[in-house]
Structure 1
């Protein structure tokens, strides 16, 4: 499991495009028939993608975790961005349709992923953080994720937000997880931008056409840069960085957070006129 070491805001302005991508972009997780994970020193997140085809895939531990099993001291959010599949947690099966989400609590020893139909396989996006408390494994259907429409067509940011793992939904120790869908004709996400030093945030962009891209904005508000991102690629955002973006066409992204609190509204807003 490769480890990503984050740059601080002092080194960040000197980085080349390649260095920025090597540090803040994860672009190699989706591989049919495999489960791939990456460890990020920022809040000790583990980010992964399981893409079972013919056979079930077990969630392995890794020497980087120094644990007997993956969830010995961790919790896990699982979002299915593919077709129907099943997640088995310690012998209990959970059926996940497209955009259903499963929270898996600390102490779960055996977790596996299976596609219902190899011809139209599942793709499970995984986000894990350390946990100092145990909460029950909970399935949240897309239709139960309390969608909220925000933005407007006039400002090119009409979008619907679904919250899955949060204070008012599936309970967790520190994972917060949801999905935002841009409406057709809209391009901007999370603009006006914000930061939140109390927690880091991770964006996994999906539902992009093969020839579409998102220009993900990052960095301190007065020193912004961008990453060009394609389908199923991931941007890691430290607390000092904004996280926003504009796409060449409509798209979706999974936002996940871990850190000091779970208050979705805990944001330090940045006015558009102050961006540089």
Structure 2
């Protein structure tokens, strides 16, 4: 498990490209038969993946967490963006099709990801601390609350699918969903915003091999960009905007943790302020 410290915005404005990428960009996700994890001290969010191809993969706690098992004091969301695959929690098996999610409540002792012959599931993982336990629940794509935003004219036509959300499934503080851009649209979250009460992680996917997203971050008056490729994620502290423009349309998974779960609790940033 890789550990990342919190970053001060006064320091970030002095970062060069490599420092910025090293601090906020998460690479190496979706490696076959591995569970890569990045532990961020920004609200102690853990971002990772599990891709069981030839063997079962088990989620383990470690020294970084200081607990007996991974979800002893945490909750987690799993979203499958690949072929169908199976997640086993405390002996109960649930098969996740593409774009189905599983919320796993605090106190779940055993979590494993099982391979299927001829199938390559890609489980994306988000986990944050919890102080209450809620039932483990399978969330189908049909169950997700959908919200259409944007216009063709503004090149930001998109559908937000809310999976781990108070209107869908109960969680302690974790929220997670998936945004899909329409063909011909390339902008996400613009006009942009911050939310000082929550951090966020964006994981971009459904990009062609030579496709990229220019992810914008930083204080509104001190913007920086990170070039992101398919299957990579960006940690967004609460003080930073989070927006992007792609070389083509794409999808991304967003996940949040912090003081509340109100999706609309945002501090809008006027376009005139951006620098």
TM over 0.5: yes
Shift of 1:5: 1.2
Between the aligned partners of 1:41 and 1:142, the Cα distance in structure 2 is 31
Partner in structure 1 of residue 162 of structure 2: 163
> 1:240-267, CA deviations, whole angstroms, 9 ceiling, x for partnerless residues?
1000000000100000000000000000
Partner in structure 1 of residue 150 of structure 2: 151
Partner in structure 2 of residue 252 of structure 1: 251
State TM-score, norm by structure 2.
0.98
Unaligned runs of 5+ in 1: none
Shift of 1:115: 3.3
Partner in structure 2 of residue 31 of structure 1: 31
Partner in structure 1 of residue 271 of structure 2: 272
Partner in structure 2 of residue 88 of structure 1: 88
SS of the counterpart of 1:20? Answer: helix
> 1:99-158, CA deviations, whole angstroms, 9 ceiling, x for partnerless residues?
1010000000000112333x3310100000000000000111012102221101000000
State TM-score, norm by structure 1.
0.98
Contact 1:202/1:255, CA 8 A, preserved across alignment: yes
Between the aligned partners of 2:222 and 2:177, the Cα distance in structure 1 is 28
Between the aligned partners of 1:113 and 1:209, the Cα distance in structure 2 is 27
Partner in structure 2 of residue 121 of structure 1: 120
Partner in structure 1 of residue 232 of structure 2: 233
Equivalences, count: 275
Between the aligned partners of 1:48 and 1:111, the Cα distance in structure 2 is 14
Contact 2:48/2:125, CA 8 A, preserved across alignment: yes
Shift of 1:6: 2.5
Between the aligned partners of 1:149 and 1:263, the Cα distance in structure 2 is 17
Between the aligned partners of 1:89 and 1:11, the Cα distance in structure 2 is 41
> 1:168-207, CA deviations, whole angstroms, 9 ceiling, x for partnerless residues?
1111000000000011000000000000000100001111
Q: Does 1:211 align with 2:207?
A: no
Contact 1:195/1:241, CA 8 A, preserved across alignment: yes
Unaligned runs of 5+ in 2: none
Between the aligned partners of 2:191 and 2:116, the Cα distance in structure 1 is 40
Instruction: Write out the 4+ residue segments of structure 1 that deviate beyond 3 Å after TM superposition.
Output: none
